[in-house]
Structure 1
Amino acid sequence: MKKHAELEGRTAVVLANTGTPGKPTPQAVRKYLSQFLMDRRIRPMGLVPWSLILHLCILPKRGKASAQKYRSIWTPEGSPLVATQEKLARGLEAHFAAQGTPVTVRSAMSYGQPSLEAAIKQLKKAGAARIVVLPLYPQAAFSTTGSVTDKAERAFRKSHFKGETVVVSDYHNHPVYLKAMAAAIRNAGYNPASDDRLLFSFHSVPLNDLEAGDNYELQVGASSLGIANELGLDRRQWTIGYQCQFDKGRQWLKPFSRDTLKAWAENAGDARVFIACPNFAIDCLETIYDIQQQFVPEYTARKRDWELYGEAHDHDGEQPAYAPAATGEIVYVPCLNATKAHVKVLASVLEPHLGLGR
């Protein structure tokens, strides 16, 4: 690739995320999961035994099951994660251009395509003088931001990039991020002055990562408290849950969001329930499928079951063991995705790292 004059000497930004299969097929999913689950920061045991277990036992079953899930969220543009992140990158680059800031923005993934290694190699060949990698995980974890950092550093070495490099660690407590999340929750209809309940659902991590020094749980707490403060909430109006534990062989950070929703379905009365995912920058399998296609219908069905239970006891003239639950609404708060608010968040996070003398 020849150098493009418009990139010569410029700062470049790479928005990095976990990734997705190229197609919602068992073969493509197995290929993606093999790359993802063999990462040293992800696999639960040593390389050789895990490789045997993964390829002989796990992938043959999980590839097919996961492909069905991906098919349910696939769009005409392909993977919603890849398509939305590309729109976000274009929006961020346009934002910088409107400010007269010479920054090139690319979208990349740790696993699958477009790859982080390819993005860094292309930017180096195009003449970028400084590359800033921004992992799109507001709260850093060994298994997410740590993995992006590993891959970015390896890509810088392999491409022989001699310019300045930065990998942003996190932005869990950035005021613009906290305000944007609070605004998204309000825009979804949440009323801080009502009986509405708010669940912050985060990706879980293995407890052994926390024992090894991962500060993820502390950042989760700080983000949740910061967003709640922006909303003017007291501690009784919100709670934290975790989702997406991979295996049952390790202990994972709890409480699980599904268990919290189960309890709320039984005792929340007619209060509305809102679910926000501050850990996810863009809606993907974990939010579109796990929450919108699984958690929300499960909560609604369970809520109705308890309502019918209460009605039956009322008709029998008996006193229920607890007050019958009225059917309360459950609302998912979309991620910031490719919105102008998200562009503003990322521009604010990146500004100190761009080396533009501002």
Structure 2
Amino acid sequence: MQSKAVLLANLGSPDAPEIPEVRDYLKQFLMDPYVIQLPWALRALIVYLLVLPKRPAATAEAYQSVWTEQGSPLVSLSNQLLAALQEKTGVPIAMAMRYGKPSIESQLKTLAAIDGVEEVLYIPLYPHFADSTVTTSVKEAERVIRAQRLNIKLKTLKPFFDRQDYIQSLVNSSQSGLQQNFDHVLFSYHGLPELHITRADPTGAHCLKQENCCEVPSPAHATCYRHQVLTTTKLFAEQAGLQKTQYSVAYQSRLGRAKWLEPSTEETLVKLGRNGVKKLLVLCPAFVTDCLETLEEIKIQGSETFTAAGGEELIYVPCLNDNEAWLDCLAGWINDFAGEQ
């Protein structure tokens, strides 16, 4: 009888690329206090009065440009990953989304109902720590276990930004791009407001407050998104044989007027195009699965921005998705967990 199970979790997607479904999804997402870190009344004011009246139409149009016969790219690709993983492991595995369907609650209840299951390995599919991804996902899982009185123990996998097997998977899955002729590589990570970085700093005096803060050793690095993405980039570059002059880091997907991590991906694409870069390779390592932010924001809109600035070709490198190296990496983590006494 199997006593262990695994739950993978990603961000989520609307049920359909239409305005009503997108509005519901954005409402659930943006009203999360870990996403917009403001008091409830101010957060509600922003979401209900400034975002929901207009943004769902534009976001629905963006989703329509990448929607497939199987539905949302994130959900369909996640299902492919799940099916492939189930063939490589010997424990029950489920896939959940923090927002939308299938919910963390429904999947935890399903796993807890399996006869004999006592412990669940919870894998938030985010390589880098952020309260708006990892913390909210873990808190939701813990809430469900308490509220539903599920008789299971939750073991959460820590962010894997610097694990050698993850880095190797990332490099291996990028070979189709790395083997092409390119002038420059851009690592485009999901952006975060700077306030999220400083609030996650347990010392209260390191992140974005000390010169070269990401390079100076500190306990803050355990929860510093910026340090972790820069570490992933450095390790990737070393493994792939990239020189420092061959690549840049930027941050995408800004929302609102708060000060976000810089430089922005859009500004960087323009700068690179104007500075003579003709063939640009773009990777998005903050995402393990292709989604709206990679397929529409980078592959479609990013390409248009880059070529309009003088570039010739943006070569988008797909996310890990169900790449064999990534499957072996995940399966290794899962099988190690299953073998623990």
- Out of 135, 148, 158, the position equivalent to 2:124 is 135
Partner of 2:315: 331
Distance verdict in 2 for CA 1:222–1:348, change over 3 Å: farther
Q: Flag structure 2 segments of 5+ consecutive residues without an equivalent.
A: 202-222
TM-score by length of structure 2 reads: 0.89
Q: Indicate yes or no: 2:66 matched with 1:73.
A: yes
Separation in 2 of the partners of 1:159 and 1:125? 12
Q: Indicate yes or no: 2:3 matched with 1:15.
A: no
Partner deviation per Cα, 1:44-86 (whole Å, 9 max, x = no partner): 4210232133123310201111111111111101111011101
Partner of 2:263: 255
Q: Flag structure 1 segments of 5+ consecutive residues without an equivalent.
A: 1-7, 97-101, 304-326
CA contact 2:173–2:325 (8 Å) conserved in 1? no
Deviation at 1:350, TM superposition (A): 3.6
Q: How does 1:57-136 map to 2 (within 5 A)?
A: 57-96=50-89, 102-127=90-115, 128-136=117-125
TM-score by length of structure 1 reads: 0.85
CA contact 1:176–1:348 (8 Å) conserved in 2? no
Partner of 1:184: 173
Separation in 2 of the partners of 1:185 and 1:179? 10
Distance verdict in 2 for CA 1:197–1:269, change over 3 Å: closer
**Matched position secondary structure for 1:143:** helix
CA contact 1:171–1:349 (8 Å) conserved in 2? no
Distance verdict in 2 for CA 1:26–1:230, change over 3 Å: same
Higher Rg: 1
Partner of 2:191: 204
Partner of 1:226: 235
Deviation at 1:35, TM superposition (A): 0.6
Separation in 2 of the partners of 1:259 and 1:350? 40
**Matched position secondary structure for 1:275:** strand
**Corresponding letter in the other structure for 1:333:** V
**Corresponding letter in the other structure for 1:282:** T
Separation in 2 of the partners of 1:287 and 1:54? 24
Partner of 1:310: none
Partner deviation per Cα, 1:114-172 (whole Å, 9 max, x = no partner): 00111001111123221111011111111101111111111111222223211112110
CA contact 1:201–1:278 (8 Å) conserved in 2? yes
Distance verdict in 2 for CA 1:125–1:108, change over 3 Å: same
Separation in 2 of the partners of 1:54 and 1:64? 14
- Out of 291, 298, 301, the position equivalent to 2:298 is 291
Partner of 1:264: 272
Separation in 1 of the partners of 2:224 and 2:87? 34
Separation in 2 of the partners of 1:23 and 1:137? 24
Identity of aligned residues (%): 32
Partner deviation per Cα, 1:99-119 (whole Å, 9 max, x = no partner): xxx311111000100001110
CA contact 1:190–1:274 (8 Å) conserved in 2? no
**Corresponding letter in the other structure for 2:16:** K
Q: Indicate yes or no: 2:292 matched with 1:281.
A: no
When the two structures are aligned, how many residues end up with a matched partner?
A: 318
CA contact 1:274–1:331 (8 Å) conserved in 2? yes
Partner of 2:253: 244
Separation in 1 of the partners of 2:119 and 2:6? 8
CA contact 1:36–1:42 (8 Å) conserved in 2? yes
**Matched position secondary structure for 2:102:** coil
Separation in 1 of the partners of 2:274 and 2:143? 50
